[in-house]
Structure 1
């Protein structure tokens, strides 16, 4: 059994405040007995992409930034795996990424968002560069973790790719508003969990940021598509226990993956 903690955060105005809150959540997750903690999209900064063409000077950090070193130390001190969601600056380009740091403080992987949206309240193409790493599965002591960054979840191929790569758990960091269809967001997580017989997590922000009101409602879906854990609309640490033996059994019984015929798909 693996215990996961989902830090449904309200994002403050300064990066320092959000960094310190992240460290606090890591400590709380450790105290709750979690082996793994994950965070919502862009956890260190307010959601600048709700506006067109603002300065990018203060929205991203480089890979060697002290805050990342602080996350590494906290994971090591608390003996917990962290899945962080950051705006990362690399060679003058900004990527929306998820970073896995293991319980020894080692950075295991960085996965960038592959599809960058450009729509009202989500003018992300003004700020972010798309990644080209595809969809990654990271072996850890808490299982094989698949990573999906927000908008990439709207492509069902992302979830299936991670299943074919052997994911036990797929974590999706998001920034969902109250004005968006919350029932559909649940389906987008629950249906892939059912179709691929694995656990799936969606971890969201909460609270109001200028013209955007983030809805919370983070969830963990089981390999049968049922809701394992569901957060409310406010700030909280959502805890769920995952039984990978159940997901492996269901994968054998349902045969959704083993009976696939890739030759009939014209993709």
Structure 2
């Protein structure tokens, strides 16, 4: 057995006026609770340090820069890293990254038990739009404030296993999991901030959004024989509601643990990475069963090409 006692640490809403220090204090409290439950690894949401700011339109794009982190760790997050080292706990969380060259990414990191950043991922599949859209019930301006990630879907050896990351909308794309699956991934961790209503289809509310969330995560886990840990930022942020749905899915696609509610909270589950072996050695033994000669369209085109 190769067990990682994994804590999915959901954050309730972060209001626009809430500062980094307050949010980090909440994250530390969740980490302390995870430690009380003997967790080895704690996973936090996408954009864990701020409200989901892409809902706010800035005509001057640079006005959004205060939401971004120019260094990691920094003064605000140093106490989180210090507590992780004290607890000897690995962690993963998402934040808005501003690079020294002035580039902007929706980023997630893996941090080992010594508090060292050992992995970085930048969100590839950016949803939403770039300009203000009167036709939408609310704005979702990720394409305005972020560039598509430029690091691909790497994996890392950590905690005795092979771990990978993705962020929010990435979980809906099968290519996300398959690229990591082809590297032997045994646990995918991801944070999300998902509005509870589709801005372009008001009838698609909370129930359908949670259905699509679970469907995507469970399919990705099953089809690649990997654990998936999906962690929400949830609740009402300044009148804009985000779904919950924090859960841990096993390599057979079953929900192993799920957190109820939309407030700050933790679930801890013993994830045995050896449970990935059956799927990887049988129905999803890629070396035996994949037929890449027929998959050219997947990397050869983006939009749909209709038959003549």
Shorter-chain TM-score category?
Answer: over 0.9
Report if the CA contact (8 A) 2:224-2:284 is conserved: no
SS in 2 for 1:67: coil
SS in 2 for 1:254: coil
The Cα of 1:255 is off from its aligned counterpart by: 3.4
Matched, 1:32 2:41: no
Q: Which runs of 5+ in 1 are unaligned?
A: none
Tell which deviates more after alignment, 136-145 or 191-200: 136-145
SS in 2 for 1:203: strand
Aligned residues: 267
CA–CA distance in structure 2, aligned partners of residues 204 and 228 of structure 1: 16
CA–CA distance in structure 2, aligned partners of residues 107 and 67 of structure 1: 16
SS in 2 for 1:233: coil
The Cα of 1:154 is off from its aligned counterpart by: 2.4
What does residue 245 of structure 1 align with?
274
CA–CA distance in structure 2, aligned partners of residues 209 and 109 of structure 1: 29
Matched, 1:18 2:23: yes
CA–CA distance in structure 2, aligned partners of residues 20 and 60 of structure 1: 19
SS in 1 for 2:181: helix
TM-score, structure 1 as length reference: 0.94
Within 5 Å, give how 1:174-185 maps onto structure 2: 174-179=192-197, 180=205, 181-185=209-213
Report if the CA contact (8 A) 2:229-2:247 is conserved: yes
Report if the CA contact (8 A) 2:91-2:112 is conserved: yes
Matched, 1:111 2:129: no
Q: Once the two structures are superposed, what CA deviation does each residue of 1:175-201 show, in whole Å capped at 9, x if it has no partner? A: 112225211110000011111111112
Matched, 1:62 2:70: yes
Whose radius of gyration is greater, 1 or 2? 2
What does residue 45 of structure 1 align with?
50
The Cα of 1:125 is off from its aligned counterpart by: 1.8
Within 5 Å, give how 1:112-261 maps onto structure 2: 112-119=122-129, 120-179=138-197, 180=205, 181-235=209-263, 236-258=265-287, 259-261=289-291
Moved over 4 A (4+): none
Quote the RMSD (CA, aligned, Å). Answer: 1.6
Q: Once the two structures are superposed, what CA deviation does each residue of 1:24-59 show, in whole Å capped at 9, x if it has no partner? A: 222221221111101111011111111222621420
TM-score, structure 2 as length reference: 0.82
What does residue 265 of structure 1 align with?
295
Matched, 1:76 2:78: no
